[in-house]
Structure 1
Amino acid sequence: MDTSITVKVISGLMILLLIIRLLGKKELSQFTPFDFVYLLVIGGFLEESVYDEKVSVWEVLYTIILWAILIYFIEAIVRKFDKIKPIIKGEPAIIINDGELNIKELKRNKLESEQLRTMLRQQGIFSIKELKFAILEPNGQLSIMKNEAYSPVTAEMLHLHPAKSSLSHQLIDEGRIKEKNLKFIDKDREWLLSQLNKEGYRDIQEIFYAEWSEESGFTIKTNS
């Protein structure tokens, strides 16, 4: 039994290294969801078969080699046919286009506005007003291009004096008031409704996204 386990583990490791080579020289952050599935399935094969005496070494080898061959052909097809690549690997999605939040792409990629804000904060962006473009990559990462007005280097080179920056707070998410955020900035619902009326918005349900900062005021995106 010990010999069988040893052979299974060694064989599995060799095939796993081969599959990693087939996936190419990528960092883990560059792996697409399909790439992770490849490796997870291999791990499942090994986990289920190593200590199962009913599964022979040859069955393990056959299963893993077959899986590796399938991966090889899928990768080859993806490289050869551009039309198939988006289906298998996914494609970039422009979430913010020329400073405008693309709600349709946000929903299509099952990305909530607060998730988007979290991803932006991780890159040092605290308001969508700072961005010109934001692209959701197939691996789930967010690539950004800052608006020229919010580029520190450009402002310094042109001797500009941009307004003092302050933290923005999301106050409305898909027609719902975020009471916790209102409380954090020491405001209440009445204040928010009054400010929205001044901005020309009387129905909260028509607002998809609204953020506010002390320096810049409101940034509002409606459902239309």
Structure 2
Amino acid sequence: MNLETIYRTFIVFIAGYLFLRVTGKKAVSQMHTFDLLYIFVLTNIISTPVEVSNVGKAILYGAITVILYKIFIRLSLHNKLRWILYESPTVLIRNGDIDRKGLKKARMPVNELLSHLRVKGYTDTRNIALAVMEGTGSISVIPKSKYRPVQPNDLNISVKKEYIPIPLIMDGQIIYHNLKYLKLEQGWLMNEVKKMGEKVENIILATFLDNGKLFIDNNEIINHRKDPYYYKPGEDN
């Protein structure tokens, strides 16, 4: 490994970062600039031996790219450097008013902003306290307090602790480590399946509920033909 190899890889990495930074957050939606650049560069390096028979050089450049990526990620953990390496969030709506400067900076037309709000379940900009384009290009929306969903705490209602059903059978296969976690025997599971008139291989999903019972979703779909509540788009109706 010589100095020129490291230098050339570093220059490519920095140049790519600057190009993506200039392009804007919309182009790197759901990913930070560094992450996207890392994938682009590494993919290109790995695919090089397909065109040029020089596997050793490709592996060397790939290793340098990984090291550079790790260094930049480590630097981004420091608050002062983070604001230099990553783009700051861009305000698009503040207290019900659209921020024109924010839209211009994000290169986003109003109709696209409205479509993002609809995806989040909001149709009126006046109901939004804050809408922000994050560094990853995703849109965060915080509604005004009177337009947000009602929380149990607002009504002084106490709710039970959230429980995530634990899969015991998936795609016709028993999840043995979950059985072990619950300290249940396979015999118990097979007995429950038998009581419901099912076979393990026909079960798409079976979960252990908080009440200690087994819920089974099999492969059978009940025929709801002509029922408007079960309309299915297409020509299969």
TM norm structure 1: 0.51
Partner of 1:112 in structure 2? 109
For 1:29 and 1:110, the matched residues in 2 are separated by 13
Partner of 1:40 in structure 2? 40
1:129 counterpart = 2:126: yes
For 2:130 and 2:61, the matched residues in 1 are separated by 45
For 1:114 and 1:30, the matched residues in 2 are separated by 20
Query: Secondary structure at the residue paired with 2:123?
Result: coil
Kindly state the Cα deviation for residue 99 of structure 1 after the two structures are TM-superposed. Answer: 1.9
Query: Secondary structure at the residue paired with 2:120?
Result: coil
Gap runs ≥5 in structure 1: 1-27, 159-224
Aligned positions, number? 126
**Higher Cα radius of gyration:** 2
Partner of 2:192 in structure 1? none
1:94 counterpart = 2:83: no
Partner of 1:77 in structure 2? 75
Query: Aligned Cα RMSD in Å?
Result: 2.3
1:148 counterpart = 2:137: no
Query: Secondary structure at the residue paired with 2:135?
Result: coil
Corresponding letter in the other structure for 2:63:
I
Alignment check: 8 A CA contact 2:93 2:130 kept = yes
**CA distance 1:153–1:102, shift in 2 (3 Å):** same
Kindly state the Cα deviation for residue 134 of structure 1 after the two structures are TM-superposed. Answer: 0.8
Cα-to-partner distance string for 1:87-119 (whole Å, 9 max, x where unaligned): 322121221112221111111121211111111
Partner of 2:64 in structure 1? 66
For 2:110 and 2:83, the matched residues in 1 are separated by 24
For 2:137 and 2:120, the matched residues in 1 are separated by 14
Gap runs ≥5 in structure 2: 1-27, 156-237
For 1:98 and 1:86, the matched residues in 2 are separated by 25
Query: Secondary structure at the residue paired with 2:93?
Result: strand
For 1:122 and 1:129, the matched residues in 2 are separated by 16
Instruction: State the 4+ residue runs in structure 1 displaced beyond 3 angstroms.
Output: none
Query: Secondary structure at the residue paired with 2:76?
Result: helix
Corresponding letter in the other structure for 1:32:
H
How much identity, in percent, do the aligned residues show? 24
Query: Secondary structure at the residue paired with 1:116?
Result: helix
Kindly state the Cα deviation for residue 52 of structure 1 after the two structures are TM-superposed. Answer: 2.2
Kindly state the Cα deviation for residue 59 of structure 1 after the two structures are TM-superposed. Answer: 0.8
For 2:143 and 2:61, the matched residues in 1 are separated by 48
For 1:130 and 1:109, the matched residues in 2 are separated by 21
Query: Secondary structure at the residue paired with 1:86?
Result: helix
